[in-house]
A and B are shown apart, each in its own frame.
Chain A
Amino acid sequence: MTLAAPAELRQTGTRPALPGFALPTGLTLPVLVLLCATLFGALPFLRLLVAAFAPGWQFAPEAALAEISSRAAINATLHTFETAGLSALGALLIGGTAAILLAVTDVRGKRPLAFALVFSMMIAPQVAALAFLSLLAPNSALLGLVGLAPAPGTPNPLLGRGGIILVMALHHAPLVAITLWTGLRSVPQALVEAAQMEGAAPATIVGRILLPVLRPQIIAAALLAFVAGIGNFGIPALLGLPVNYLTLPTLIYRRLSSFGPAGLPDAAALSLLVALVAGLGIVAGLIATRRGGGKIEIERPLQPFWQLGTARPFVAIGLWLLIAIKLGLPLLALLGEALTPALGVALTWQSLTFDKFAEVLLRQDVTVRAFRNSFLFAGTAAVLLALISIAFAYGLERRMGKLRRVVDVVIELPYALPGVVLAIACILMFLKPLPLIGVSIYATPFIILFAYMARFLPLALKAPVAAMAQIEAHHEEAAKLDGVSLWQMLRFIVAPILAPAAAVSGLMVFLVAFNELTVSALLWSSGTETLGVVLFSLKEAGLAGEAAAVAISACAVILAVMLGLDALGRKLPANILPWRI
């Protein structure tokens, strides 16, 4: 409100205000942002709370209170907090190191390295977890080769807290790297050159100049990894459940698997704890951002300034090793399952078969339909979110004042909730026809689109908001003096500045949504199957090989798309593709 006051004052001089009819121009965007945040974040969450505390709209909070204060729930909350928190730090370390090495050093093969890192987002979390588990299992082929395979019956060292944190940190490292790249691009080369003239060593430049300037992106990236860690189900399910180390998503899953009617209200009540953990992380992030980094002018973008010298091959080897672990290992495991006739049969030239690919791609038309649907849903969500993120970034950074804190927390909720809980919230909201228009979007593609937009909005916002926070407001202020409308401001001033960050956001949303396994599970209907739905169906039928064939095919499709984009890259505006560094 305080921000809007001067705008109102200015207006009274030029034209009579119409209170109650038109919003002052300074308020249009904040109101729109608030409406969006309410629709995507607050409403699903509140609907869940109603289901927990007032099942059937009868106020009866006892069961929900008992559930959230149970020892299992408190333990799971603590476990969620520590795995999400520590894995976010790990992701920051791994992803951040990789991002900075690729951006500022003269290491060889940057483009393929960066490309592979982005592509590794295609590996689903449970596939990654499974691949690492098998690597360290007693029958591990790789460890067997070097004679280090553990004795049969040895418990797997990856089971439990440490394993979850490690695998999750690796899994979320690309999110961090991509978010940091968008910021690294806008660091002015002049800053680096000035420091070099003063005789600063490359390490000093990174520590004293780059990291402080990148502060908004670093915090945004850490927060992204943290919230993604809270909502992750696949990794703690595989690595935590066997040793009874439960996080909130796995506890919710356990509640939903019991026979009685209590599963749904219990799961809904536990989502309150999910929100609590997410909220704490976001508040910590806000406190860290309040101290504010320096703002920068848009100038010549950063060039690599660190000559590695003799360390050059070692850095390259280190980065390729990371790719081999993160991308190569899970892909090999998938290929092994997809190309052998049955589980446990060694892959040789004799046993090699493409039957499973033929089965899922040629004989079952549902797979092809799922590819089309996932492409459509993920693509639409990505484009819409990229556009929305531009308006949101401007609104949040420049127009919202203190209110943005609330918006920040609210929009984060659907990303922190386990996918199945978000899906339940969507069912609760959209089963009945919508008010005013009287049409129900239930069992249509639109409910999946809504769920994707709600879930991935925070993912789309991180890079543009951080970019906005980093950039001086000169251009906007000049335009404001010229009296541009909100639309003109967004279209001609803000959008061009934020376009690279928004495009990267869109790409991230696409990759993650194309691959998601849990949100669409409860929301699909005949004809709107997604890839995740098909994968689950095959797995539950005991057809692991066929599921692996679908996953490999999905990777191949995304690889083709990314290579196509890369070929187009020369014609696209600079900086749209995160791996072209």
Chain B
Amino acid sequence: MRALATAVLALGLALPALDAANAVEGKLVLYTSQPNTDAQQTIDAFKAKYPKVEISFVRDGTPRVMAKLRAEIEAGAPQADVLLIADAVTMEGLKKEGRLLAHDKADVSAFPAGVHDPEKTWFATKLITTGIVYNTKAALKPESWLDLAKPEAKGQLAMPSPLNSGAAMIHTITLTGNLPGGWSFYEKLKENGTLAAGANGDILRQVATGEKLYGMIVDFMPIREKAKGAPVEFVFPKEGVSAVSEPVAILKSSKNPEAAKAFVDFLISKDGQELALKQGYVSAHPDVALPAGYPARGAIKLMPFDAAKALADEPAARKRFSAIFEG
């Protein structure tokens, strides 16, 4: 009897929520830069809550996802409802062009200020930081960004070029804006024979195989590779790390804004954020734990970063970097 009563009570409590979930339906198209398996997990978790939404996704690296979306915009019919890509600066660009839909009702109370767009057009879903990776046979164990300009690292550092990658550009703008020397740090790196090219995967390969001893790289790659036995170590430097936040946004042209809002709500909910943890990333939610292999959340210092300002600064940063590394 009591069990039944509890069940009825539970049902009564659950029903309104279920009703709301069932009211959201129809097709939803997601364009994302998440790796295939992660994207599928995200969608599966969302569908478990909103079974009536039929969701399909397109996945590629951020530049290609954006090239596809831009081509569709140029042809007059963007197909995506929701965009989930690596960085907020690209989102700021779309916002400036008036292509993003503000989701005013989104509940962001759990997050500290500055994580999401204050105008609620895009929302951070996780933190992918960039720090230092080194090969375990390296003599110098770096603790600071400035260690990379030391003679021990001469000719031994590889980093992604900001001219080829948006995420690397964000890293460069953050670093030059926060390190005391600013751009002179990059001038020293150039003098120290640093190689600037390649994507994160290439940096990992070069450092793990010992072709180079040091690299600037996103956190999860070396941490996972180390867990599998690779001779690499990842460092969160003491000055702090830069981060991209894999933001999610709704396009104004979306044909199903209700389902799109539900998707965004789900991603920034505690459940959605715990998914990021399960996939092995640092979630943006301050109450969610960090995956194995990471230090405590408090031990990771994030350098401040302003996406809108970075968008404006990009052309100048491009010129500055080219002048140093290509001049």
| A interface, CB within 8 angstroms of B | 51, 55-56, 134, 137-139, 152-155, 238, 241-242, 244, 253-254, 256-261, 263-264, 267, 341-345, 351, 364, 366, 420, 423-424, 427-428, 431-432, 442-443, 521-522, 524-526, 533-534, 536-544
Q: B262 CB to closest chain A CB, in angstroms?
A: 20
Considering only CB atoms, which chain A residue lies closest to B218 in the complex?
A542
Q: B278 CB to closest chain A CB, in angstroms?
A: 15
Of B60, B197, B232, the contact of A536 (CB 8 Å cutoff): B60
Count of chain B residues with a beta carbon within 8 Å of a chain A beta carbon: 72
> Which A residues are CB-close (under 8 A) to B191?
none
Q: A293 CB to closest chain B CB, in angstroms?
A: 44
| B interface, CB within 8 angstroms of A | 33, 35-38, 56-61, 63-64, 66-68, 70-72, 74-77, 79, 87, 89-90, 92-93, 97, 135, 154-156, 161, 163-166, 169, 193, 195-202, 204-205, 207-211, 213, 220-221, 224-226, 228-232, 311, 314, 318, 325-326
Query: Are A244 and B325 in contact, with the CB atoms below 8 A?
Result: yes
| Given A263-B70, A342-B230, CB of A257 within 8 Å of CB of B58 | no
The 13 sampled A-B contact pairs (Cβ below 8 Å) are A51-B71, A139-B209, A139-B210, A154-B155, A155-B193, A342-B225, A343-B204, A343-B208, A344-B231, A420-B67, A522-B64, A534-B36, A544-B204
Query: Are A241 and B155 in contact, with the CB atoms below 8 A?
Result: no
Query: Are A427 and B156 in contact, with the CB atoms below 8 A?
Result: no
Query: Are B201 and A544 in contact, with the CB atoms below 8 A?
Result: yes
Query: Are A134 and B195 in contact, with the CB atoms below 8 A?
Result: no
Q: A484 CB to closest chain B CB, in angstroms?
A: 45
Of A259, A345, A541, the contact of B169 (CB 8 Å cutoff): A259
Query: Are B154 and A153 in contact, with the CB atoms below 8 A?
Result: yes
Query: Are B66 and A263 in contact, with the CB atoms below 8 A?
Result: yes
Of B35, B75, B89, B211, the contact of A428 (CB 8 Å cutoff): B75
| Given A536-B60, A544-B201, CB of A427 within 8 Å of CB of B71 | yes
Query: Are B229 and A345 in contact, with the CB atoms below 8 A?
Result: yes
> Which B residues are CB-close (under 8 A) to A345?
229-231
Query: Are B72 and A263 in contact, with the CB atoms below 8 A?
Result: no
Query: Are A51 and B59 in contact, with the CB atoms below 8 A?
Result: no
Query: Are B156 and A254 in contact, with the CB atoms below 8 A?
Result: no
Q: B174 CB to closest chain A CB, in angstroms?
A: 14
Bound complex: CA A544 to CA B221 (Å): 11
Query: Are A431 and B67 in contact, with the CB atoms below 8 A?
Result: no
| Given A259-B311, A521-B60, A537-B36, CB of A153 within 8 Å of CB of B155 | yes
> Which A residues are CB-close (under 8 A) to B213?
152
> Which A residues are CB-close (under 8 A) to B207?
344
> Which A residues are CB-close (under 8 A) to B79?
431, 442-443
Query: Are B228 and A344 in contact, with the CB atoms below 8 A?
Result: no
Query: Are B56 and A525 in contact, with the CB atoms below 8 A?
Result: yes
Query: Are A343 and B36 in contact, with the CB atoms below 8 A?
Result: no
The 10 A-B pairs with the shortest beta carbon distances in the complex, nearest first, are: A153-B155, A344-B208, A541-B35, A343-B208, A242-B197, A342-B228, A342-B230, A542-B221, A427-B71, A431-B75
Bound complex: CA A442 to CA B68 (Å): 12
Bound complex: CA A152 to CA B193 (Å): 12
> Which A residues are CB-close (under 8 A) to B161?
241
| Given A153-B154, A259-B311, A345-B230, CB of A241 within 8 Å of CB of B164 | yes
Query: Are A431 and B77 in contact, with the CB atoms below 8 A?
Result: yes
Query: Are B169 and A344 in contact, with the CB atoms below 8 A?
Result: no
> Which B residues are CB-close (under 8 A) to A154?
155
Q: B147 CB to closest chain A CB, in angstroms?
A: 16
Bound complex: CA A235 to CA B230 (Å): 27
Bound complex: CA A442 to CA B57 (Å): 14
Bound complex: CA A533 to CA B58 (Å): 11
Query: Are A432 and B77 in contact, with the CB atoms below 8 A?
Result: yes
Best-buried of B93, B204, B220, B228 by chain A (most CB within 10 Å): B228
> Which B residues are CB-close (under 8 A) to A137?
209, 211
| Given A364-B37, A525-B58, CB of A428 within 8 Å of CB of B193 | no
Bound complex: CA A428 to CA B73 (Å): 9
Q: B15 CB to closest chain A CB, in angstroms?
A: 33
Of B36, B76, B211, the contact of A541 (CB 8 Å cutoff): B36
Q: A131 CB to closest chain B CB, in angstroms?
A: 12
Query: Are A540 and B70 in contact, with the CB atoms below 8 A?
Result: no
